[in-house]
Structure 1
Amino acid sequence: MDNEMFCYQCEQTAGSKGCTRVGVCSKDPNVAKMQDVLIFLVKGLSFYATKLINKGQEMPRELGEFLTECVFATLTNVNFSPERFVGYIRKTNAYKKELMEQVGPIDDLPEGADYIAPETKGEILNIPHMKNLGVMDDDELDMDVRSLREFLIYGIKGMGAYFHHAYVLNQYDQEVANFMFKALAATLDPKMTVEDYFDLNMELGKTNFKCMELLDAANTGAFGNPEPTEMLITHKKGPFIVVSGHDLNDLGALLEQTEGKGINIYTHGEMLPCNAYPGLKKYKHLIGNFGGAWQDQQKEFDNLPGAILMTSNCLMKPRGSYKDRLFTSSIVGWPDVTHIPTVNGHKDFTPVIEKALELEGFVKDEPEHRIPMGFAHHAVLNHAGTIVDAVKGGQIRHFFLIGGCDGARPGRNYFTEFAEQTPEDTIILTLACGKYRFNKMDLGSIGPFPRILDVGQCNDAYSAIKIALALAEAFECDVNELPLSYIVSWYEQKAVAVLLTMLYLGLKDIYLGPTLPAFVTPNVLQVLVDKFNLQSISTPEDDLQTILG
């Protein structure tokens, strides 16, 4: 078996260059190889699908959903199960053979487009290196082309996560699926130039904005508009389940199945914003949030006397002290961890419920502590007039969007210190797990608003952007003329998709950190600096001085 790997899709990649022995995320070379094979296969699948789409044939929703699941499964900290990847590879082969038969012979077939993989774990791991299989397998590829190609692929993975969460709530868009087919197919085309890839990345930003809008409609359509809420962050006596990840659909199903069973439900990580949705918080046993960001889970879950359900990305290698009480659902997987499958559109969470009751939970209440959250676009824009008046009257000098994907790499205290040092006449909009760097601070209020406004999950960058666009309209100015700065932490591929959306919308002066992506070459970075004034963070003091003068 080939024991080599190369992966640099996340911010914490080894040495800021690439993981070659084992992933910082704990992905081993075998899983890395299977993910490379799967992505290689779906590129070819997408090539044939695009041929049919260009002839006017609509791809079935089932195929669009499957493609989305494949790319989502390879996103950082999602699926580490070799058996699940063997299943994906077999199914991709089957779909691909069907499409190849429909398309027929092709004269200008890109190398590898018609590849069919072996279907056992051993054979898959022994597939030799070939052009386009892994990130670095084409030695002759221009490094800037490779950089923008990977930018595109990682953006697709991030958008795939959002698309998945939307369609499980029955919001599907054929244009989003068609773009994913088109973009993945393009990565096999040896004639693609830097300019071609740059344009496709901007198109991905446009499509991802539509995808985030779709997910917002899915979440609010199913559970109502988030509303300002004082959320409990301490625990209560009794059995409980901690729900992590991003999937509102899974949380809703679990709440329904646990109602009346004497089990408290806590959100964790990116599920925190769920406490503000009327259709979820109507369940009184959804009592608050446990713990902090995803990278603290090994410490926080250590010997936890309750069950844990991981519903999407942010899974870390489980310790033996809690592996027996950890469950996965949806795309998530880890070897020897119980998975809750979907059967005829339904998930039975009985094993999770039984484990929670068996463990009996916390033995006493903690002193109660609550923090404000639930300031998505609907809640904030209901007060747009108040905000405009406060800016014009001098009560609000500036807005900072401080948020994004958190991680464990040193240097992320920058975001805590930046928030602490923002002046008292400024407002912080925050979203995603980056908020955990400062969301428990009490920085006071300005009028009816706490100075820290929790906008939601990472996909709720849509909310923040919608707020910015609405304020620009109210002030009759360009969005880049607003007293608004973007201080963004990135970690994985959803952050890549969101960044591309921000760039597509023409947002400038984005401060990105703690380090820049390893897959961005100096030439590509210079283009982003020249066109959008993208900047690497420095120190909170210097950056605040630059922004505020």
Structure 2
Amino acid sequence: MSLLSIIKSKSLTTTKLHLQNAISLNLKRQFATKDNSKMFCYQCEQTQDGTGCNGLKGVCGKTSFVASLQDLLLNVTKKISTFTSMSRQLGTKNPEVDRFVLESLFSTVTNVNFDEVRFKEYLQKAESQLEKAEKDYREVCQSKGIQPKMPTFAKSFWKANPDLGSLIEEGKKFSILKRNRSKDLTGIEEMILYGIKGGAAYLEHAKVLGIEDEEAYSFMHDCLKKLTEELSLDELLKLAMDTGKWNFKVMELLDKANTQGYGDPVPTKVSISPVAGKCIVVSGHDLYDLELVLKQTENKNINVYTHGEMLPAHGYPKLKKYKHLVGNYGGAWQNQKKEFSAFPGSILMTTNCIVPPSDAYRHRVFTRSVVGFPGVQHILSDDLSPLINSALLNKGFLKDSPRKEILVGFGHKTVLGIADLIIDAVKSGAIKHFFLIGGCDGYELDRNYFTDFAKRVPKDCVILTLACGKYRFNKLDFGTIKHKGVEIPRLLDIGQCNDSYSAIKIAVALAEAFKTDVNGLPLSLILSWFEQKAVAVLLTLLSLGVKNIRIGPRLPAFLTPPVVKVLVDNFGIKPISSSPKKDLKELLKK
């Protein structure tokens, strides 16, 4: 078997993993001494010095090689979408191209794929997809007797199947720092791209569950095409708002996919205490992969735990029916190294949020879908035997821990089911204010702000939360508000970041009941952000006219001061301060 055929093999062999490590190591030796091997990336919140990662490795652990390959893949993806957008306007669609663009975008989201070899495979596919997209466009023009309007961008160059080193060098041409645009315009272009990448992640989750939408695909391609053009500031700001509206539609599709597939979430007590037995922990966001694990481990004496953003899965009726879904393990994504080192079983990473694994547990990690890391086993098919066999070989938990529980399952259907009670509680003064405290978690100590803020919220106020930022406070006892004999929990866990649609739907429904808009409600939004899905959600909120959002722990590096001023002037966006007490006092005046 040749070296290339081994690399392309879909088998989960040790040989493949060793070869990937060897290739990666060789690349490091080849390029690490070159000054021009440095990266530039500011797509997530934890950028170096708050301005952008510009060394041989980003704060997330992404190497400059992977950053370069991602820049190249995004460049080719925009070209594919340019042809696809023009073809769609003439009535031609290609589902294969649609799905490839979706997966390519998702693969470049923070903490998804760190594997140089996998990105080479994406780029090889991208070249063929670009040819396919161009061919589709030429053929539909010919069929309609139209002269093709060919884009001016240069074609890709790697038809001779170049090595990874050549692709990395090519990718450097498309670094953010190589743009000819101003920093202000480049920052807005990147904000739009990040919104599209975040929405693509949501759309991919829905697609896996059988829900796709032609309008959603059309806007995705149209938007990427526009990002190849030199739009003005006003045109870019409009495109950003349109991206937010698109993402709201995408989140609605995902909500439909999740609830059709697994039922509407219901309030559910979830154990956060390990029990004795062999075990698998599932992290990420993908409910489909969790269901596969549950089905294939049934009657095998293996306990299944959720981790991170998978916590809300316990509220879905068709998932909670599995008795061996025994609880939630650990906290948010950034604690993986400590938590997974201590976990005595196997680990499945289903979507974004993987952290570079340590040697203590690397051999027990398996990835799915777009997730990748050098030296980690990737499962391509729905047969999860490698994961299950690994779990059976590990010792598992040796004894039960004292049982502790948290409450999840407050999707929009559950909350709006008691809307009359909530509205009456507000009118009577039993509930004075709502605080949506949610979003991404991260490493910085100043994220303790969100814990401190939640603790200070008065007892006559309700906290809504979603995404992994809730791990800062979701194990605290906030008690209930009693009204008309019903005890309303003061902390309502709406779900994943993917479930932001539920939060928006709840807010809009309450606004209609009070004959006002969302801004007129006794509601304050305090959001923590980290990666591109959070950018997509922020654009959605802005596109719906939601104002006075507090965001932290710091504003995005890709937004320059003039652009921030536009957002402040138009939407009242404000960074959180260093004092939760001060911010809370100001917000309660509303």
TM-score by length of 2: 0.90
Could you tell me which residue of structure 2 aligns to residue 101 of structure 1? 135
Q: What is the Cα deviation at residue 99 of structure 1?
A: 2.1
Kindly provide the amino acid, as one letter, of the partner of residue 110 in structure 1: T
Alignment of 1:542 onto 2:542? no
The 10-residue stretch of structure 1 (44-53 or 426-435) with the greater mean CA deviation from structure 2: 44-53
**Contact 1:41 / 1:116 at 8 angstroms: preserved in 2?**
no
Deviating more after overlay: 97-106 vs 163-172: 97-106
* 1:65-214 pair list within 5 angstroms: 65-104=99-138, 109-112=151-154, 114-117=155-158, 119=161, 120-127=163-170, 129-130=172-173, 133-138=174-179, 140-190=180-230, 192-214=231-253
User: 1:24: which partner in 2?
Assistant: 59
Answer yes or no: is 1:286 the counterpart of 2:328.
no
Match of 1:321 in 2: 360
Deviation of 1:476 after TM superposition, in Å, equals 1.3
Match of 1:350 in 2: 385
SS for the counterpart of 1:334 is coil
Relative to its length, the structure with more helix (as a share) is 2
More displaced stretch, 382-391 vs 179-188? 179-188
Identity %: 50
TM-score (norm 1): 0.96
How much has 1:303 moved relative to structure 2?
A: 4.3
Q: Is the 8 A contact 2:72 2:171 kept in 1?
A: no
Instruction: Determine whether 1:382 maps to 2:417.
Output: yes
1:5 to 27, 36, 39: 39
CA contact (8 A) 1:431 1:455 kept: yes
Do the aligned residues in 1 keep the contact of 2:275 with 2:397 (CA within 8 Å)? yes
What is the one-letter code of the residue matched to 1:111? F
Q: Match of 1:259, as an amino acid?
A: E
Q: Specify the SS of the correspondent of 2:555.
A: coil
Provide the residue aligned with 2:450 in structure 1.
415
Match of 2:184, SS?
helix
Partner residue in 1 for 2:520:
481
1:381-424 CA-partner distances (Å, limit 9, x unpaired): 11001000100010000000000011002310000000000000
* AA matched with 2:111: N
Counterpart of 1:296 in structure 2 is: 335
Q: Does 1:264 align with 2:303?
A: yes
The equivalent residue for 2:15 is none
- Offset at residue 304 of structure 1 (A): 2.3
Give the drift of 1:129: 4.3
| Structure 2 CA distance for aligned equivalents of residues 129 and 412 of structure 1 | 34
Counterpart CA distance in 2 for 1:416 and 1:146 is 34
Partner Cα separation in structure 1 for residue 393 and residue 150 of structure 2: 61
**Deviations for 1:197-225, whole angstroms, at most 9, x for unmatched residues?**
11111111001000000000000100000
- Name the aligned partner's letter for residue 281 of structure 2: V
Shift of 1:126: 2.4
**Contiguous gaps of at least 5 residues in structure 2:** 1-30, 139-146
Code of the aligned partner of 1:510: I
Q: Deviations over 1:414-436 (max 9, x none)?
A: 00000000000000000000000
Partner of 2:142: none
The superposition leaves residues 457-503 of structure 1 with CA deviations (integer Å, 9 ceiling, x where unpaired) of 00111101000011111111111100000000000000000000000
Q: Is 1:338 the counterpart of 2:372 in the alignment?
A: no
Task: Give the counterpart of 1:437 among 472, 489, 501.
Answer: 472
Secondary structure of 2:97's counterpart equals helix
Q: How does 1:442-457 map to 2 (within 5 A)?
A: 442-447=477-482, 448-457=487-496
Kept in 2, the 8 Å contact 1:89–1:117? The answer is no
Distance in 2 (CA, whole Å) between partners of 1:328 and 1:398 is 42
Residues 128, 28 of structure 1: CA spacing in aligned structure 2 closer, same or farther, 3 A cutoff? closer
Q: Which amino acid aligns with 1:534?
A: I
Partner amino acid for 2:570? K
* Structure 1 vs Structure 2 CA RMSD: 1.2
Q: What code does the residue aligned with 1:262 have?
A: N
Shift of 1:526: 0.8
Q: CA offsets, 1:214-264, max 9 Å, x none?
A: 000000100000000111001000001000000000001110011111010
Deviation of 1:55 after TM superposition, in Å, equals 1.7
Report the equivalent of 2:271: 232
Counterpart selection for 2:408 from 363, 370, 373: 373
SS state of the match for residue 201, structure 2? helix
**In the alignment, is residue 519 of structure 1 matched against residue 554 of structure 2?**
no
Structure 1 residues 28-67: aligned runs within 5 Å = 28-57=63-92, 59-67=93-101
5+ residue gaps, structure 1: none
CA–CA distance in structure 1, aligned partners of residues 335 and 172 of structure 2: 36
3-state SS of paired residue (2:85)? helix
**Structure 1 residue 107, shift from structure 2 partner:** 5.7
Contact 1:455 1:463 in 2 (8 A): yes
Residue 106 of structure 1: how far off its partner (Å): 5.5
Matched, 1:243 2:282: yes
- Deviation, 1:545, is 1.0
SS at 1:111 equivalent? coil
CA distance in 1, matches of 2:258, 2:493: 17
Equivalent-residue separation in structure 2 for 1:48 and 1:322 (angstroms): 44
Paired residues, number? 539
Q: Partners of 2:127 and 2:366 in 1: how far apart?
A: 29
Moved more, 86-95 or 487-496: 86-95
Report the Cα offset of residue 276 of structure 1: 0.6
Counterpart-to-counterpart distance in 2, 1:122 and 1:432: 38
Q: Is the 8 A contact 2:480 2:488 kept in 1?
A: yes
SS of residue in 1 equivalent to 2:129: helix
CA contact (8 A) 2:71 2:171 kept: no
Q: Is the 8 A contact 1:231 1:288 kept in 2?
A: yes
